[in-house]
Structure 1
Amino acid sequence: MAPHSEPEHRDEVTAHPKGQDAPTVRMMVLETDEPHKETKKIPGKTTFGEILHNHFTNAGKAHDPPLGIETDRWFVIPEKGGTMPKYEDFEGCDALLITGSVYDAHGDDPWILDLLKLLRELWQNHPKMHFSGVCFGHQLLCRLLGAEVRPSPKGDWELGHSKIELTPIGQKLFRTDDDHVHLHQMHQDHVVAPPTVESAQGLLPKGTRVHVWGKSDHTEVQGVYIKGKMFTTQAHLAFDEEMVKRQIEMRVEAGSIDDQEAADQAGDTADLEHDGEVAAGAILRFFHDEDEDVD
């Protein structure tokens, strides 16, 4: 994708496993932010969509049998040169993923309201679409379904390498007997409680089961799972050490993170091993309708 200065902001990248008959998932990544300026200089990391595409490509190679991934990337913030896609632009897509962002998912920025309107239309009229979101994207999808999103009561951040306790559903999704995973965090806002059939106001059929797949000491709702429909994560599954440090640096310089000790501690743990590829594998299986036994 070219820098966000052209009127059209869609790009497509493809990664096919060996063998022309191998199945492929087509994913639309809605980019709601841009990486740090130094990260953007690195080949393969120029946009969050590209970062996620490469991350899911690795998950597809590890899948048995291998899965290919086709990724459409669309930058959606108008004041930064983006445009909002239309319903028709999702034709042929199996999955939608919304990236993280410095914006508030509970905000009323016009583009956020437009994105919510688009998501509602897709949710209601594209029955086979699988929805996922990371951090901001997780919060926005929960907001779509009527959940409350707001800052942490203490105003503190969950930063860097974090332990997430898995629920039984989370263990099934991640295909592990362990009771926890570790993922990188970068948020102050959180989903207060998971959405419900009642809060969704018609978007969820009666009897729909909404699951929380994990929680941490800081955040009770680390991700929401609705069978065949939605799988979100508060944590940044595709962040690596340098990305964590740079994203923290950006927020400290902007004044949004004012706890330097917490920021330093998060930077010090950024090199620790995390389960980002495991999380990507779980979401990719969900995209590929391999969650029949999870409920």
Structure 2
Amino acid sequence: MEPRRDETTEQSRDTPTVRMMVLETDKPHKETESRRGSFGAILHKHFTDAGAAHDPPLGIETDRRFVVTEQGGKMPNFDDFEGCNAVLITGSMFDAHGDNSWILELLDLLKKLWQHYPKMHFSGVCFGHQLLCRFLGAEVAPAPSGDWELGHSKISLNPIGKKLFRTDEDEIHLHQMHQDQVVSPPTVESSGGLLQPGTKVEVWGYSEHTAVQGVYVRNRLFTTQAHMAFDDEMVKRQIEMRVERGSIEDKAHADQAAETADLEHDGDRLAMAILRFFHFEDDGIE
């Protein structure tokens, strides 16, 4: 499969540009893909809007690679990341704690990138968040209760989260789509030498269902369990797909979550926060 590149079209030569590699770890529902494109294309549009709202405006250039080799994808080569400012891993219906060959290959690639590109920034959404935490030695497992966090959800922000989102508010709202979660954040000790001694690994938010809603390492890592670019149709479709696969067994819970799909959420604010991180505008505590 050939790599796909999206570039902002309304930027001048003087506009700073953030160059991202989006690693697509799943495909959206066919109707969603027909309407909005792949997960990488959806995120490109979302970050393009965030870049236009940034002061001063930022251009976004995105390489998109579908990496699920068992479904016809191809893992990028190490050299393909030359010139990239950031790597973003999408959500997926695969288990981030699984041992699929492409997942193990991706973990190996992440290790090489982390070690050889010390200024590269890493982010992940849902599956991507969990995989990056696993990569740094954290445990990923199904929620102890066995239930899902679905649809429009409240996330409480701690002081780190408030700085990242540049807000005094105590909470944000985002769409969720997961049963697995990061049990506890990675540590210097768990990382096997990938995190230097003294590195702070911060959790920026939590919910009643999930204690680790995102992880932050200054100038290096900013992940989110929740989704930033889901619209109401995507929420409903993603829930529908999981019910049809038998992953979600509580139909009443699924129906209730689907009814929240059109509620206002803070996906734009999350994209802005991650974009500032990608652009080396860290707002974390020293």
* Same structural fold, with TM-score higher than 0.5 when normalized by the shorter chain: yes
Alignment of 1:239-258 (within 5 A): 239-258=230-249
1:130 paired residue number: 121
3-state SS of the aligned residue for 2:15?
coil
1:5 paired residue number: none
| C-alpha distance in 2 between matches for 1:18 and 1:9 | 26
Aligned residues: 286
| C-alpha distance in 1 between matches for 2:283 and 2:240 | 41
Please point out which of 32, 47, 50 is paired with 1:39. Answer: 32
3-state SS of the aligned residue for 1:233?
coil
1:290 paired residue number: 281
| C-alpha distance in 2 between matches for 1:158 and 1:9 | 35
3-state SS of the aligned residue for 2:173?
strand
Match for 1:28: what amino acid?
M
Could you report, residue by residue, the CA deviation over 1:34-93 in whole angstroms, capped at 9, with x for unpaired residues?
Answer: 000111111xx2200000000000111111111110000000011211011111010000
TM-score under structure 1 normalisation? 0.95
2:151 paired residue number: 160
1:63 paired residue number: 54
Please point out which of 103, 106, 113 is paired with 1:112. Answer: 103
3-state SS of the aligned residue for 2:46?
helix
Alignment of 1:16-27 (within 5 A): 16-27=9-20
Please point out which of 166, 178, 188 is paired with 1:197. Answer: 188
Match for 1:32: what amino acid?
T
Asked if residue 15 in structure 1 is aligned to residue 2 in structure 2, the reply is: no
2:43 paired residue number: 52
Match for 1:95: what amino acid?
A
Q: Percent identity?
A: 69
RMSD over aligned Cα atoms: 0.9
Match for 2:24: what amino acid?
E
Alpha-carbon contact 2:164-2:284 (below 8 Å) kept: no
Could you report, residue by residue, the CA deviation over 1:212-267 in whole angstroms, capped at 9, with x for unpaired residues?
Answer: 00000000000000000000000011101000000000000110001011101111
| Cα drift, residue 9 of structure 1 | 3.2
Alpha-carbon contact 1:97-1:137 (below 8 Å) kept: yes
TM-score under structure 2 normalisation? 0.98
Please point out which of 49, 60, 64 is paired with 1:73. Answer: 64
| C-alpha distance in 1 between matches for 2:280 and 2:256 | 39
| C-alpha distance in 2 between matches for 1:17 and 1:119 | 32
| C-alpha distance in 1 between matches for 2:42 and 2:285 | 28
Match for 1:138: what amino acid?
H
| C-alpha distance in 2 between matches for 1:32 and 1:228 | 24
Structure 1, unmatched stretches of 5+, are 1-7
| Cα drift, residue 20 of structure 1 | 2.3
| C-alpha distance in 2 between matches for 1:17 and 1:281 | 18
| C-alpha distance in 2 between matches for 1:39 and 1:230 | 29
Please point out which of 71, 81, 84 is paired with 1:90. Answer: 81
| Cα drift, residue 19 of structure 1 | 3.2
Please point out which of 238, 250, 269 is paired with 1:278. Answer: 269
3-state SS of the aligned residue for 1:284?
helix
| C-alpha distance in 2 between matches for 1:110 and 1:85 | 14
| C-alpha distance in 1 between matches for 2:284 and 2:210 | 27
